[in-house]
Amino acid sequence: MAKVFDRITDELQAFIATQHIFFVATAPISSTGHINVSPKGLDSFRILSPNRVAYLDLTGSGNETSAHLQENGRITLMFCAFQGSPSILRLYGTGYTVLPDRAEWDNLHSLFPPTPGTRQIIVAEIDRVQTSCGFGVPLYEHQGERENLIKWAHKKGEPGLQDYRQQKNLVSIDGLPTPLAAKEPS
């Protein structure tokens, strides 16, 4: 049932383009650390090349992905067909966090619509692409994007978001520093 590819094919790119949600999984090196899986939506995913992808990461209650990537780089992204033919697509690779002060920020950020609450961009170099049947994935009808996070970020404004990030986004739940921690004065 599973098929493995060394790149994101044109057919798989078309599949990704029709998905409204994807999931990001990362983990710390420690066997006692917490594995993180985050759902992502909005217009936040881009294929940069057949082996390179990026997504716009918004301010949230945690920053686990960024902390894990800084520690070990491992990342898996998963797309599921919730409508139409069943399918699951996993992209395995290594990733890193791009903050607004990095040289590649402007080029990457220009690929996304202006989005209040933008915190960072996650870039992943993909070394394994795998599809599987998806027979166990339920059917769901997409009703639209939630506006809560965008409204919250807009209401907070940039100074409020910076304060929030200082309080909530500098370390993971396991105490690993995020790239945002390096930007903070000691």
- For 86-133, the DSSP string reads --EEEEEEEEEEE-TTSTTHHHHHTTS---TTEEEEEEEEEEEEEEE-
Q: What angle do CA 62, 66, 69 make, to 5 degrees?
A: 140
* 63-87 confidence digits (pLDDT tens): 999 999 999 999 999 999 999 999 9
Q: Which domains does the chain have, with CATH numbers?
A: 3-176 (2.30.110.10)
Non-local CB neighbours of 107 within 8 Å, separated by 6+ positions: none
> How far is CA 83 from each of CA 17, 19, 133, rounded to the nearest angstrom?
13, 9, 13
Mean pLDDT of 86-115: 98
Assign 182 a pLDDT band (cuts: 50, 70, 90). Answer: confident
Please give the model's pTM, rounded to 2 decimal places.
0.96
